[in-house]
Amino acid sequence: MTTIRAARTEDAEALAALEAVCFPAGLYGVCLRRRDFLNYGRAKSYRLLVDNALGGYVAIWLRPGRRTARLVSIAVHPDRQGRGLATALMDSAENEARLMGAWRMSLEVREDNLRALQLYRIRGYGDEGRLPHYYEDGMAAVRLTRVLRPVFP
């Protein structure tokens, strides 16, 4: 059974390796490193969640005093894709964001990342605008947001 939990310090190495597989160099430009995962795991304004098999992760950020959380990144290992893991990670990330005090979640996604766009749109994320030349290779981003449902801890 898939369990989603907070990442631990000892997960950082595996998450950096997962990141490199999920975001091949040159395709998406930015790749999180071990240090980034350690920082996300420690910072009060971030939540870094993983599944128990470390097949995927999601990171969110809520700036203090704000009501809109940001989806920093989500990735699932290619061998584990298409089985609902990203959906489970998004469920948990949205719940965590709500518990942190957020009312909305926003994110940017490459315009050509059809899988990710589908994942978000199915969940009710709506278009907030297009950001031309957002990525290093010149690709545009689509900004998406959704209102978060209340959760009860």
Ligand X SMILES: CC(C)(COP(=O)(O)OP(=O)(O)OC[C@H]1O[C@@H](n2cnc3c(N)ncnc32)[C@H](O)[C@@H]1OP(=O)(O)O)[C@@H](O)C(=O)NCCC(=O)NCCS
Among 43-51, 73-81, 94-102, 127-135, the segment contacting ligand X (CB under 6 A): 73-81
Shortest distance, position 125 Cβ to ligand X, whole Å: 11
Determine, following the binding rule CB under 6 A, whether residue 85 of this chain makes contact with ligand X.
yes
Determine, following the binding rule CB under 6 A, whether residue 93 of this chain makes contact with ligand X.
no
Shortest distance, position 65 Cβ to ligand X, whole Å: 25
Query: What residues contact 56, with CB distance under 8 A and at least 6 apart?
Result: 18, 50, 74, 75, 76, 77, 80, 85, 86, 89
- The single residue among 8, 45, 53, 82 that binds ligand X, judged by CB under 6 A, is 82
Determine, following the binding rule CB under 6 A, whether residue 75 of this chain makes contact with ligand X.
yes
- Contact letters for ligand X, residues 32-71 (x by CB under 6 A): ----------------------------------------
Helix H segments across the chain? 12-22, 34-42, 85-100, 114-122
- The single residue among 16, 81, 106, 143 that binds ligand X, judged by CB under 6 A, is 81
Q: Would you tell me how many other CB atoms lie within 10 Å of the CB of residue 87?
A: 13
| Residues of span 94-123 touching ligand X by CB under 6 A | 109, 113, 115-116, 118-119, 122
**Strands lying side by side in the sheet with 68-76:** 4-6, 46-51, 56-61, 68-76, 104-110, 141-147, 126-131
Q: Which residues of 24-54 are buried (b: 16+ CB within 10 A; e: fewer)?
A: eeeebeeebeeebbbebbeeeebbbbbbeee
Site residues (CB under 6 A) for ligand X?
22-23, 74-76, 81-87, 109, 113, 115-116, 118-119, 122
